A and B are shown apart, each in its own frame.
Chain A
């Protein structure tokens, strides 16, 4: 998939909001400054990805995992991010788990009128859909 130039940029509205919330009330941000920060953020993603990928390759893995990103932060001299990132990750994982449980329950309710055999087939579909999340759990074990 070819990326259009704007796809490598982050949404202006979100960037502006993050900046505004970080700075004291009443501080103006010039349009130029906002645009510069947005570009810097994209460069940050590329730099972090490249760095994380080096760690994945060192571990002979083809998939970037959480540990790779955290190692990248230390390598890039953003150690200050590591603790808050770990906290956020815990919340995120719990949220994802909760969503998965909710989806399983919802599907069970929908299946309640079908026979046992078809219910098993639907569960297989569920497994395919949640492949990414299951991959997460496997990665967690590796971590």
Chain B
């Protein structure tokens, strides 16, 4: 039984490392939750640990980051976007873009708009599908 516990915990032979009290606070912040059975609290804490392990290892394995010996934010946001299981994280792990690139994108859109307007001078149709 002790060996099973050690195999399962993975962190200093403790069954769960995340503090149950903190997990409870987060769970109770949901307004529709009335009470939480002790077993449910333990399972949620343990599941969260498994989740952290899974997210970290998956992102490291599938990350397109240039560094092979590092886990970066880009690896994580890539996972949130590409992997269906982690899509619920897409909003909190948005892809990052360099400010300079973004500004260039805006300028290009503006320029494309101006060019199109010149072309349209002789036409009556309007292109509404500018993405």
Q: Which residues of A contact B (CB under 8 A)?
A: 3, 7-8, 10-11, 14-15, 17-19, 21-23, 26-30, 32-33, 36-37, 39-50, 52-53, 57, 62-66, 68-70, 73, 76-78, 80-81, 84-85, 87-89, 91-96, 132-133, 135-136, 139-140
Look across to chain A and name the residue whose beta carbon is closest to the beta carbon of B88.
Answer: A47
Complex: chain B residue closest to A73, CB-CB: B47
B1-34 contact mask (Cβ, 8 Å, vs A): 1 or 0? 1001100101100011111001101110110111
Asked whether, in the complex, the Cβ of B8 is within 8 Å of the Cβ of A53, the reply is: no
Interface of B is mostly: helix
Q: How large is the interface on B (under 10, 10 to 19, 20 to 34, 35 or more residues)?
A: 35 or more
Ordered by A's residue number, 9 sampled pairs between the chains whose C-beta atoms are within 8 Å are A7-B26, A10-B22, A23-B56, A39-B92, A40-B93, A49-B33, A63-B37, A64-B40, A135-B38
Interfacial chain A residues near B48, Cβ < 8 Å: 10, 41, 44-45, 48
B residues near A, CB below 8 A?
Answer: 1, 4-5, 8, 10-11, 15-19, 22-23, 25-27, 29-30, 32-40, 42-44, 46-57, 59-60, 67, 69-73, 75-77, 84-85, 88-89, 92-93
